[in-house]
């Protein structure tokens, strides 16, 4: 909650003239194994807002674990930069970076989770409703990295969580095992369904993400077939709570997991949500690097 309040404070400070340069002289090294628009730009611009700088390191340059071992990359980078943000395929790779780096390492998405997304998402919910506790967040589609972080953020901050996925594409059982104790502490429910209509009943937030994540391109045709029923469209949204908002981490595949009508409709929060990635991450950067 403190991180969310700091994010809201930094956003307000930025909008009313600018942030103080609390990260002056500090550089964030950004290691990418996959493409990005939001993560790259929001971290880079966020660092500049705080008086620091950021360095984009493309997949070709670093060759994480290929050109050089992850342990060596971590130790070399730690001599140059004051923080590392990494977007990786295998979650173990970001853990390995964190193990060897002597500077903070931020997960900018792995095949397991996307915590910076979860933070920006919950900030967006908090701003819109003025609270998180007691709300219901429904995720429609693949039990993927974004769903995992949304579940963890919801469970930590007291929002009920439901998810509808086709058989074989559910959240990992181990993820649910990790989330249950958090849910118990926060007195919230976690419900899993196959039927999207069941999942969105009374939901305050209807969330979706791509059917095919980065790295799963070979499965795209099969997934397109399996996920046909899991589109957030006007009919499905009508089954949610009347004041429900629609969220998507982006990039969106309009006409697949989300219709244009919903993405551009009055309940959509997808662009403020994308902006909030930057404000939320600035709070993380201040916490870790100032």
Stretch binding ligand CP (CB under 6 A), from 36-44, 89-97, 162-170, 188-196? 36-44
Residue 37 interacting partner from ligand CP, ligand NVA, none (CB closer than 5 to 8 Å by kind): ligand CP
Known catalytic residue at 209: yes
Among 33, 39, 154, 210, binds ligand CP (CB under 6 A): 39
Stretch binding ligand CP (CB under 6 A), from 31-39, 49-57, 128-136, 180-188? 31-39
Contact assessment for residue 23 and residue 289, using Cβ atoms and an 8 Å cutoff: yes
Distances (CA, A) of 127 to 13, 23, 130, 176, 280: 15, 26, 5, 27, 12
Structure tokens of 242?
């009347």
Residue 74 interacting partner from ligand CP, ligand NVA, none (CB closer than 5 to 8 Å by kind): none
Stretch binding ligand NVA (CB under 6 A), from 15-23, 123-131, 144-152, 192-200? 144-152
Catalytic residue among 82, 93, 249, 273: 249
To the nearest 10°, the Cα dihedral for 66, 72, 77, 80? -130
Is 214 a binding residue for ligand NVA by CB under 6 A? The answer is yes
Known catalytic residue at 116: no
Specify the residue, 188 or 269, whose C-beta has the smaller distance to ligand CP. 269
Is 145 a binding residue for ligand NVA by CB under 6 A? The answer is yes
Q: If we measure between CA atoms, which residue out of 120, 124, 179 comes closest to residue 155?
A: 179
Distances (CA, A) of 3 to 10, 11, 40, 140, 157: 10, 12, 21, 27, 11
Contact assessment for residue 113 and residue 171, using Cβ atoms and an 8 Å cutoff: no
Q: If we measure between CA atoms, which residue out of 284, 290, 225 comes closest to residue 106?
A: 284
Known catalytic residue at 249: yes
Q: Considering only CA atoms, give the Rg of the chain.
A: 19
Is 144 a binding residue for ligand NVA by CB under 6 A? The answer is yes
Is 38 a binding residue for ligand CP by CB under 6 A? The answer is yes
Is 250 a binding residue for ligand CP by CB under 6 A? The answer is yes
Q: How far is the CB of 106 from ligand CP (least distance, A)?
A: 13
Catalytic residue among 33, 82, 117, 281: 117
Is 37 a binding residue for ligand CP by CB under 6 A? The answer is yes
Please tell me whether residue 68 adopts helix, strand or coil conformation: strand
Is 271 a binding residue for ligand CP by CB under 6 A? The answer is no
Catalytic residue among 111, 142, 204, 209: 209
Please tell me whether residue 287 adopts helix, strand or coil conformation: helix
Catalytic residues: 87, 114, 117, 209, 249, 277
């Amino acid at each position: 909650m403190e991180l969310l309040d700091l994010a809201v404070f930094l956003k307000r400070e930025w909008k009313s003239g600018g942030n103080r340069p609390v990260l002056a002289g500090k550089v964030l090294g950004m290691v990418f194994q996959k493409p990005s628009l939001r993560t790259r730009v929001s971290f880079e611009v966020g660092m500049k807002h705080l008086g620091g700088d950021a360095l984009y390191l493309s997949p070709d340059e670093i060759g994480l674990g290929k050109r050089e071992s992850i342990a060596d990359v971590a130790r070399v980078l730690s001599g140059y930069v004051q923080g590392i943000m990494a977007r990786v395929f295998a979650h173990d790779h970001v853990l390995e970076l964190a193990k060897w780096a002597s500077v903070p390492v931020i997960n900018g998405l792995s095949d397991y989770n996307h915590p910076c997304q979860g933070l920006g998402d919950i900030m967006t919910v908090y701003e819109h409703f003025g609270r998180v506790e007691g709300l219901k967040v429904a995720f429609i589609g693949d039990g993927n990295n974004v769903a995992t972080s949304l579940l963890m953020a919801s469970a930590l901050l007291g929002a009920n969580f439901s998810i509808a996925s086709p058989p074989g594409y559910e959240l990992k059982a181990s993820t649910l095992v990790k989330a249950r104790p958090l849910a118990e502490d926060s007195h919230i429910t976690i419900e899993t369904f196959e039927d999207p209509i069941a999942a969105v009943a009374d939901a305050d937030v209807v969330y979706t993400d791509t059917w095919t994540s980065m790295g799963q391109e070979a499965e795209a045709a099969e997934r397109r077939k399996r996920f046909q029923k899991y589109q957030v469209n006007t009919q499905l949204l009508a089954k949610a709570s009347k004041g429900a908002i629609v969220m998507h981490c982006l990039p969106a595949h309009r006409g697949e997991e989300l219709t244009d009508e919903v993405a551009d409709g009055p309940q959509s929060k997808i662009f403020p949500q994308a902006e909030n990635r930057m404000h939320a991450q600035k709070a993380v950067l201040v916490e870790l690097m100032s």
